[in-house]
Structure 1
Amino acid sequence: MASNNELIASRAEAVIPGGLLSPSRRLGSPIAFARADGPYLYDADGTRYTDYHCAFGANVLGHRNPAISRAIARVGESLDLVGAGVLELEVEVAELLVKAIPCADQVAFCSSGSEATYHALRLARAYTGRKQIIKFQGGYHGWHDYVAMNGQSSRQMIDAFDPMSDGILYDAARYTKILPYNDATAVEEYIRANPGEVAAVIIEPIAHNMGAVVAQNQFLRDLRRITSENGVILIFDEVITGFRHALGGYQSIVGITPDLATFGKAATSGYPIGLVAGRRDIMERVGRTGEGAVFMGGTFNGTPSSMAAVKATVQELSKPGVYDRLFDFGSYLRKQIDEIIARHGIRAQTAGFGSVWLVYFFEGEFKEYADLLRNDNELDMRFRRALITGRQIFQPLQLKRLYLSLSHDQTVLDDTLELIDATMADLARSAAA
């Protein structure tokens, strides 16, 4: 007899393309989730899983955080979608964000991180009057044609146009130049060789879309200098780093201020949001009509439920010790895993920052995507599949990052570490056989 998971998955395949809302949601076996609470997910058959996926990192507070739930319930008593005029709640949230984010003189809201990066690039092109943008190999900035290329490329495709999807319009994508991460010389040489052509440099200040490759501080300082000297807009894509590592994003940690920054995911701890923050002289173009205006419309921009979730999330993350706890648990988990790796003699290492973690299955330093091509993808996938079988949820794709939330406590982590220890032991035994 089929399980509830299998029955729901079968129904999904009939009416949803591929049976999932995105191929990146595939877990390797049919799992239909029915309930979420704190660090746990429960499937349609009542099985409990520990969640290290955290909705691609959005759930920084944990599932169904009471403060978020209360805030959304309260706003629902007086407001639903209006779509005209301005709401005091929108103003309150914008004021909180302007105070928290170093680059933010003003903020504009949308509904997803991909929308935010799309709008930021459009703003940069409008402000500079230029067409080209620079992104980095291994980075992901959303689904749109300007940037949906050269993510986890093969070695042969690193220096080639490597679109992430069929149907991408090359006439749009050809204005995007791909360069190696942490290489300021390559950026400076390209901009100087193409004077007056580059509108923006967009970068994840921690490249979490290839695990956790941290931008060297000097690299970011050089980017700030190079872009300023050449009239190029520097955009920090903080859709992952923002709110998860600090309220003000990674820019507030490293002390380097971009011209524009994009946020999403953890800003609401689980509700739809995207936003662009930046300098007033750039952002004010969104508020204009006529010549020089940049259109940034959207029926669901500033939805009251999402605004209430942002406000409550900021309030929760502003409490004393919150980020210390996230960072401490991340450090604890990585340290314990490194000890397990050493004990079993596996060629691997942990990586991460704050509450983001993963295991790379190679040894040695890494500072750009090409370094990650040393990863033993077979071992990586065996590790991930074993943990999913052991009821730990995250993406079964090599090099993909994992997350913690504030609801993950010592007991949760230690239970996972026992499974990781047993899994590494199995990998070591099979390698020796």
Structure 2
Amino acid sequence: MSTNNETIAARAEAVIPGGLLSPSRRLGAPIAFARAEGAYLYDADGNRYTDYHCAFGANVLGHRPPAVAAAIAETAENLDLIGAGVLELEVEVAELLVNAIPCAEQVAFCSSGSEATYHALRLARAHTGRKQIIKFQGGYHGWHDYVAMNGQSSRQMIGSYDPMSDGMLFDAARHTAILPYNDAGAVEDYIRKNPGEVAAIIVEPIAHNMGAVIAEKQFLADLRRITSEHGVVLIFDEVITGFRHALGGYQSIVGVTPDLATFGKAATSGYPIGILAGRREIMERVGRTGEGAVFMGGTFNGTPASMAAVKATIGELARPGVYERLFELGAYLRGEIDGIIARHGLKAQAAGFGSVWLVYFFDGAFRDYTDLLRNDNDLDMRFRRALIAGRQVFQPLQLKRLYLSLSHDRAVLDDTLELIDTTMAGLARSVAA
């Protein structure tokens, strides 16, 4: 007899390509979620799961935070989608963001992080009159042809064009150079060899799309110097780091201010949003018409529900002690995992920053994507599948980061740590056999 999960999954296969809205949502078993609350998800058969996926990191407050739900409901009593003129709510949210984000003299809204990075690159090209951009091996900046390449590349594909999708235009991708993360020398050499060609550098200040490879402060400072010297626009992709690690983004922590920055995910606690922030002289091109103008249209840009969610989320994250608690939870979990790993003698390590965490299945330092090629992908996948079977939710893909939210507490983490201990013991026995 089929379960509700299996029945819904079978129906999905018939009407949704692959049965899911994205291959990255596949959990390895048919699970149809019916309810979410706090740190937990509930499936169509009533089973409870602890959520460490947090909607790709969007749910920094946990699922269905009351303050955000109340703000959206209150806004809906007076406003729905307008699409003309300006709303005071848009202005209020923009003012909050300009006050919080170091690089933000002006902000513009769209509906996703991928849209925000697309607009940032278009804006940089318009501002500089150049075509070339630089991204880094292992980084992910959205689905568009200019950057959807060289993510989790095989060793053989590093240094070559490695598209993430069929159907991509090489004519667009050929204007993107892929360089090693944390290597400012390679960046400076490339720009000097291609004078007047590079419009922008786009970088994750913490490369969470490789798990948690943290940019060295000197690397980011050097990028700032190099871009300023050569008239290149420096873009921080803070779609993951923004609002999750600090209201002002990671730039407010590291003390390096880009020209433009993109945000999304955690800004709304789970509602659609993309934010482009930056220097006035660059951003004001979006508000022009005629020569030099940059078009940034979108029917759902600044939709009232999302604006209400941003305002309420900022209000919750601005409460005293919020980020301290997120960082304390992350440090506790990673410390306990490292103790478990040491006890079982595995070559592995807990990694992360703040409320982002994962386990790398290798030991020793790491600073760029090639270091991660030492990861034992087989152990990584066995670890992830075992925890998913134990009703912990996160992506069953090696090197993918996991998240905590304010709804997680030590009791929740301790339950998961028991399962991690059992799982690591089994992995250690298999390695020793």
TM-score range relative to shorter protein: over 0.9
Aligned to 1:430: 430
- Secondary structure at 2:350 match in 1: strand
The equivalences for 1:26-425 within 5 A come to 26-425=26-425
Distance 2:59 2:26 in 1: 19
| Offset from partner CA, 1:194-245 (integer Å, 9 cap, x none) | 0000000000000000000000000000000000000000000000000000
Q: What SS class does the counterpart of residue 359 from structure 1 fall into?
A: strand
Number of equivalenced pairs: 433
SS at 2:49 equivalent: strand
Q: What stretches of structure 1 of length at least 5 have no aligned partner?
A: none
1:407 alignment partner, SS class: coil
What is the deviation of 1:431?
1.4
Q: CA deviation at 1:342?
A: 0.1
Q: What is the CA-CA distance between 1:300 and the residue it aligns to?
A: 0.1
Identity %: 84
1:7-22 to structure 2, matched below 5 A, reads 7-22=7-22
Q: Deviations over 1:70-110 (max 9, x none)?
A: 00000010000000000000000000000000000000000
Deviation at 1:432, TM superposition (A): 1.6
4+ aligned runs moved over 3 Å, structure 1: none
- Kindly report the root-mean-square deviation, in angstroms, between the aligned alpha carbons of the 2 structures: 0.3
Alpha-carbon distance in 1 for matches of 2:327, 2:122:
35
> Aligned with 1:49: secondary structure?
strand
Q: Tell me whether 422-431 or 39-48 shows the greater mean CA deviation.
A: 422-431
- Give the residue type in structure 2 aligned to 1:342: A
Instruction: State the Cα deviation string for residues 297-352 of structure 1 (Å, max 9, x = none).
Output: 00000000000000000000000000000000000000000000000001000110
Which secondary structure state, in structure 1, belongs to the residue aligned with residue 54 of structure 2?
coil
The residue type equivalent to 2:398 in the other structure is Q
In the alignment, the residues of structure 2 paired with residue 167 and residue 55 of structure 1 have an alpha-carbon distance, to the nearest angstrom, of 27
TM-score normalised per structure 2: 1.00
2:79 and 2:127 mapped to 1: Cα distance? Answer: 36
**2:5 — aligned with what?**
5
Gaps of 5+ in 2: none
**SS in structure 1 of the partner of residue 236 of structure 2:** strand
**Could you tell me how far 1:430 is from its partner in structure 2?**
1.3
SS, match of residue 41 in structure 1 = strand
Once the two structures are superposed, residues 162-181 of structure 1 have per-residue CA deviations (whole angstroms, 9 ceiling, x without a partner) of 00000000000000000000
In structure 1, C-alpha distance between the alignment counterparts of 2:294 and 2:338, rounded to whole Å: 49
Distance in 1, matches of 2:178 and 2:156, equals 14
State the Cα deviation string for residues 225-270 of structure 1 (Å, max 9, x = none): 0000000000000000000000000000000000000000000010
Offset from partner CA, 1:136-163 (integer Å, 9 cap, x none): 0000000000000000000000100000
CA distance in 2, matches of 1:404, 1:62: 8
Q: Secondary structure at the match of 2:42?
A: strand
Distance 2:55 2:175 in 1: 32
